[in-house]
Amino acid sequence: MKINNECARKILFEVENIPYGETITVAKLQERISEFSIEDVLAIVTLFNKEHYLTVLDKVSYDDNDVLRDHKIKGLTEKGYKSLDLIRNDEDWNQIKSKINNFDEISIYTIFDIANKIMNVKHNNLFDLPNNLLVQNNRW
């Protein structure tokens, strides 16, 4: 299944908003971002759990989506927070969307890489660093 990049970004925002010590089921998460299908949400939660972007409390069965709906998401991992920070800014996100012709076809991880490069350039410009001292910020 193709990953919906808009949905992936919204999931990161929603999971970040889970209060400390609380959880949210995958089904409840999908209700909060109801413009996306449960299949989209399940695919992204599964992927982000496997890649350690978020923490799912129960042992996840990757082949049974009905069971997955009831699993509880605890929150973002450090990797998840760092990745969200790269795409948090709406201006940067919209710039990436407008400049990449096949935005819906590329991986969310490619978008993280592009956003990382944009952030690196912004930081170097902010501190007026010469181009030969371009800081590479590999956040994950």
Taking only the tens place, the pLDDT of each residue in 98-115 is 999 899 999 999 999 999
**Using an 8 Å Cβ cutoff, are 4 and 40 in contact?**
yes
- For residue 12, pLDDT beyond 60: yes
Region of 36 (left: φ > 0; alpha: ψ -120 to 50; beta: rest) is beta
Contacts (Cβ under 8 Å, ≥6 apart) of 47: 3
Q: Which two tokens stand for residue 83?
A: 């990745």
Amino acid symbol at 113: D
Q: Which tokens go with 58?
A: 């129960």
According to DSSP, the β-strands at 72-76 and 54-56 are antiparallel
pLDDT at 84: 97
Q: What integer best gives the mean pLDDT of the chain? A: 87
In this structure, what token pair is assigned to residue 53? 């972007």
Query: What percent of the chain has a predicted confidence (pLDDT) above 70?
Result: 84
Q: Please give the average per-residue pLDDT across 11-35, as a whole number.
A: 96
| Coil vs helix vs strand at 43 | helix
For residue 140, give the 3-state DSSP assignment.
Answer: coil
Q: In this predicted model, what pLDDT tens digit does every residue of 36-77 receive, in sequence order?
A: 999 999 999 999 999 999 999 865 455 555 557 788 999 999
Burial grade of 55 (CB within 10 A; 0-12, 13-18, 19 or more) = middle
Is a pLDDT exceeding 90 seen at residue 30?
Answer: yes
pLDDT at 111: 95
| Cβ atoms of 77 and 55 closer than 8 Å | yes
Residue 140: per-residue pLDDT: 47
Output the six-digit token pair for 45.
């939660």
User: Which residue has better confidence, 111 or 125?
Assistant: 111
